Structure 1
Amino acid sequence: MKFLIPIIALTAAALAEEAPMKFVPIFDGKTLDGWKGDGYVVEDGAIVCTPKGRNLVSDKIYANYVLDFQFKLPPGGNNGIGIHYPGQGDAAYTGMELQVLDNTAEKYKGKLKPYQFHGSIYTMVPAKQGFLKPVGEWNQQRITVHGPHVRVELNGTVITEANLDELNKKFPKHEGAKRRAGHIAMCGHGDKVAFRGFKICELPPAANIDGVKSAGFTQIFDGKTLKGWKAPAGAEGHWNPVNGILKYDGRSKDLWSEKSYKDFTVVFDWRWGAPGKMMDRPIIGPDGKETGEKVKVQELDSGVYLRGSSKSQVNLWNWPVGSGEVYGYRTDGKQPAEVRAGVTPTAKADKPVGEWNRMMITVKGEKLTVVLNGQTVIEDALLPGMKPEGPIALQHHGSQIDFANIWIKEL
């Protein structure tokens, strides 16, 4: 089965220019809530690196976004902004570090490599020079990340543009350039560099809107409101539509469609918004049975209820077996062996935690097909006794998860 909604190539510049963009602060100006690390303090509404400062890392994981902030450098000051950082190792290599540096300092004259100047992607992409304000003044910076595209604007001038797909070919050993999501970090070197005004606008993954419309699909999430959905009591602020993304913080209940469906294909994008706790989870064989072996994974769990039934749930999770699994049928010992095997994914097609996944679910009669990131993981699986009609739901299981580009076609 072919995937119906191709990803289209859009530049980061084009995405960032779409209006209006809604930014949310990721620094409250008073505390380091939402960040982890040592050696940073809050002074006069700014995050300031101390002599012991190294990495200060965001709790949340980000994929596509526009990040605005201001920074002020002391003479010779050195820091950095880590993007796509997995939370471990040197942010310049396991993620990518965008230089924050007073490269005008006398001690650096004649000693810096092109990729060490302010705004450069360390070791890979040099930035244009000459746009820093004098030492001690506040600089305004914007970082735009969308898929493989990265752009840095300093005081209104674009100083760095890069395509990570191209960098992967040029620097195949650089692990950070392979990533498409991760934490944001401040990468200190003990210098008193100050940051303030951190705010972020998250962007949905690109989709071929004209293509889905011409294929007969209807949008069931408008990107701005919960119109067409039954919000549970107290859902305000938990199921939150913003910039085309339906963000869920894991603290409410399931979100149900107002409309019921019989046979249909639903296509949507989803990603994990924050890491999960490390827990032992079972290895599941192709027959749908647990092998007795377990591995440690980040416990992340959600899913899509089909036709109003929690038993007919297509799982979105980080278990070794992969997303697309139908837990209610796979674990039902009363079901025939071929049914339990049929609802077990043939492969784990999930992208790394934090990156966007694209899933297509097709239900015809009592049969189910699931395509994840272009790979068919469940094909014509039989779900005996499945309800003939009912709403769909985005399931609550305590994990932070984002949805976008939700379209459905009735068959």
Structure 2
Amino acid sequence: MNLPKYAFLTACCLSLTALPSLNGEEYLNGIKWEAPPIVDPGATNASPPSDAIVLFDGSNLSQWENGENWPVRDGIAFSGKGQIVSKESFGDCQLHVEWSAPTPAKGTGQDRGNSGIFMMGTYELQVLDSYENETYHDGQAGAIYKQTPPQVNAMRKPGEWNTYDIFWTAPRFAEDGSLESPAYITAIHNGVLIQNHFALKGDTPYHRPPAYNKHPEKGPIAIQDHGNPVRFRNIWIRETKPTVGTQEREPFLRDGDKETPIKE
């Protein structure tokens, strides 16, 4: 529809009056923030960021207890005898792990490409070949074992590489051993969100309900041996810390030189 010239100009003027004033009041929270550290994110999404601790770069498993019992060939670690446990301990963190189910696929249910990533050596995010392989849902790949299934099944075919990006908030305990706040996990499987800030009910045993028992603020990463030759590569971790700022004054509105405090 063609508008008359005067109608078009009127519409433009009305649109301009709807824009916020560039000289109006500005809200300021009164917090002086520390500058966020600069981190090189790496050449690709899988590359370790500059502040990451590399737990396995393809050369050896020297960063792990019992690493000598897991074969390393062509930059890949194969599940061997017994679990491996990181020599260093971590609390709140971001963990990146790449893994691949054995090929050709053998077995069914829980007896097919089974392993697990244990945060703080205690809380398991399941590793399993869940590609066209039925099992109980809170035991499939991406599940918090025996607590919740993943939101979706994002598995790649056996022999292809899967990626877990795990964002972990450690549980907090009071001095008397009581739980102050649970552990939380957000997990991304092959770029797909599968756990969204899930509050864990406790540890993840096979034979009893989950429970919290007081433990140190930091714990190791463990990778399970379940008798299946699951492959792993490119494992790195970042400790995460909250942003820091100082409340130097109450929040206020600024309009030119005029400042109006805001009572919260």
- Give TM-score, length-normalised by structure 1: 0.39
- Which of 43, 57, 70 in structure 2 is aligned with 1:40? 70
- Which of 183, 196, 218 in structure 1 is aligned with 2:233? 196
- Secondary structure of 1:184's match? strand
Query: What CA distance in whole angstroms lies between the structure 2 residues aligned with 1:153 and 1:98?
Result: 11
Query: What CA distance in whole angstroms lies between the structure 1 residues aligned with 2:148 and 2:40?
Result: 29
Contact 2:131 2:156 in 1 (8 A): no
- Which of 108, 113, 120 in structure 2 is aligned with 1:84? 120
Matched, 1:113 2:149: no
* Aligned CA-pair RMSD: 2.9
Contact 2:130 2:153 in 1 (8 A): no
Higher strand share: 1
Deviation of the 1:19 alpha carbon: 8.4
In structure 1, the residue matched to 2:175 is none
Deviation of the 1:183 alpha carbon: 0.6
In structure 1, the residue matched to 2:219 is 182
CA spacing shift, 1:178–1:121, aligned 2, 3 Å: farther
Deviation of the 1:188 alpha carbon: 1.3
Deviation of the 1:179 alpha carbon: 7.0
- Which of 140, 144, 168 in structure 1 is aligned with 2:163? 140
In structure 2, the residue matched to 1:125 is 148
CA spacing shift, 1:196–1:202, aligned 2, 3 Å: same
Query: What CA distance in whole angstroms lies between the structure 1 residues aligned with 2:216 and 2:190?
Result: 27
Aligned residue runs from structure 1 range 10-409, under 5 A: 22-37=51-66, 39-50=69-80, 53-74=81-102, 75=105, 76-85=112-121, 95-104=122-131, 106=133, 109=134, 112-147=135-170, 148-164=183-199, 167-168=201-202, 173-175=210-212, 181-204=218-241, 206=242, 209-211=245-247, 213-214=248-249
- Render the CA deviation track for 1:259-287: whole Å, top value 9, x for unaligned: xxxxxxxxxxxxxxxxxxxxxxxxxxxxx
Deviation of the 1:141 alpha carbon: 1.6
CA spacing shift, 1:188–1:177, aligned 2, 3 Å: farther
- 1:149 is matched by which residue type in structure 2? Y
CA spacing shift, 1:68–1:120, aligned 2, 3 Å: same
CA spacing shift, 1:131–1:176, aligned 2, 3 Å: farther
- 2:100 is matched by which residue type in structure 1? K
Deviation of the 1:203 alpha carbon: 1.1
- Render the CA deviation track for 1:148-206: whole Å, top value 9, x for unaligned: 33111011011113443x625xx9852379875311011111111011001112112x2
CA spacing shift, 1:182–1:78, aligned 2, 3 Å: same
Contact 2:120 2:220 in 1 (8 A): yes
Deviation of the 1:129 alpha carbon: 3.1
Which of the pair has the greater relative contact order for Cα pairs under 8 Å at 6+ separation? 2
Deviation of the 1:81 alpha carbon: 0.5
- Give TM-score, length-normalised by structure 2: 0.60
Query: What CA distance in whole angstroms lies between the structure 2 residues aligned with 1:210 and 1:65?
Result: 24
- Secondary structure of 1:60's match? strand
- Render the CA deviation track for 1:60-109: whole Å, top value 9, x for unaligned: 00111111121110122110101011xxxxxxxxx111100012355xx3
Query: What CA distance in whole angstroms lies between the structure 2 residues aligned with 1:100 and 1:61?
Result: 21
Contact 1:140 1:155 in 2 (8 A): yes
Contact 1:65 1:201 in 2 (8 A): yes
Q: 5+ residue gaps in structure 2?
A: 1-35, 42-48, 106-111, 171-182, 203-207, 251-264
- Render the CA deviation track for 1:338-366: whole Å, top value 9, x for unaligned: xxxxxxxxxxxxxxxxxxxxxxxxxxxxx
Contact 1:47 1:195 in 2 (8 A): yes
Structure number with greater Rg is 2
Query: What CA distance in whole angstroms lies between the structure 1 residues aligned with 2:225 and 2:99?
Result: 13
- Secondary structure of 2:232's match? strand
